[in-house]
Amino acid sequence: METDRASRTAVMVRQGRAAAHGRLAEGRFADPVALELLRADERVAVRHVRDGAPPKGWGERVAYETVGATAEVMVPRTVAIDDAVRARPAPQLVIVGAVLDDRAWRLPEPADVEVFEVDHPASQRDERGRVAGLEPLARSVRFVPVDFTRERLDTALASAGHRPETATTWIREGVVPYLSRADVTATVEAIVGRSAPGSCLVVN
Ligand SMILES: C[S@@+](CC[C@H](N)C(=O)[O-])C[C@H]1O[C@@H](n2cnc3c(N)ncnc32)[C@H](O)[C@@H]1O
């Protein structure tokens, strides 16, 4: 993760979900928010996939194939994690590596839930601009900037108002492969330390 740039992979994940919405696994998968989180240039490949219209140029064709393949992968991953979150409801939902996750804006279940979105400061700056006009379905959304290579998850969450005596559902989706073993261990230890009985960790 470069320190001065937002996550490109998070945008790619979002493009995949936007391309899948209404086309793949209807009745099981829906992400109407994904497209709204994308900028105009990021929507071009999504439109090509949704139209089933492969573009002629080499670069555009690569983007088309990438977004189409990402859509296929993202649907089962999203459905599995959404199901897991619904199966273990808790008053707090912490999304660790949350940029463009959109569950706080998309899922009706967290209506009574406090959501904490944790991510790298650069990615989070980018996300805040994208969600500015959107109303969350969750009771509250708090943004918690943390660089896992340099900062502590537990102290950042404590400062943001997360309550360790109350159960938490934790999501770590698509983040572990970007971190060293030591950074993964440190964040898991922080999660364990702030997990009241009834908490649940959903990890991919
Ligand atoms: C592929 S994206 C996944 C985003 C989201 N969870 C999803 O599945 O759509 C990877 C995420 O890991 C975050 N990340 C990578 N390195 C990080 C670090 N050192 N500290 C905090 N977040 C990091 C990126 O900012 C990005 O949000």
Q: Same structural domain for residues 95 and 127?
A: yes
Q: Is residue 89 part of a domain?
A: yes
Q: Is 0.85 topped by the overall pTM?
A: yes
Q: Is residue 2 part of a domain?
A: no
* 8 A C-beta contact, residue 187 and residue 179: yes
pLDDT at 2: 52
pLDDT tier at 100, thresholds 50, 70, 90: confident
Residue-number span of the structural domain to which 48 is assigned: 8-75
Q: Is residue 165 part of a domain?
A: yes
Closest by CA position to 98, among listed 186, 192, 10, 195: 10
Pocket of ligand 1 (CB under 6 A): 1, 7, 9-10, 13, 97-101, 119-120, 123, 146-149, 173-175, 178
Q: Same structural domain for residues 92 and 69?
A: no
Question: What is the atom index within ligand 1 of the atom nearest the CA of 14?
Answer: 9
Question: Which one of 42, 75, 108 terminates a domain?
Answer: 75
In angstroms, rounded to a whole number, what is the distance separating the alpha carbons of residues 50 and 119? Answer: 29
Please name the residue whose Cα sits nearest to atom 20 of ligand 1. Answer: 147
CA of 57 to the centre of ligand 1 (A): 30
Q: Is residue 106 part of a domain?
A: yes
Q: Same structural domain for residues 71 and 90?
A: no
Q: Is residue 3 part of a domain?
A: no
197: CB partners within 8 A, 6+ apart:
167
Give residue-wise pLDDT tens across range 148-188.
Answer: 999 999 999 999 999 999 999 999 998 999 999 999 999 99
Please name the residue whose Cα sits nearest to atom 24 of ligand 1. Answer: 7
* 8 A C-beta contact, residue 146 and residue 118: yes
Q: Same structural domain for residues 113 and 188?
A: yes
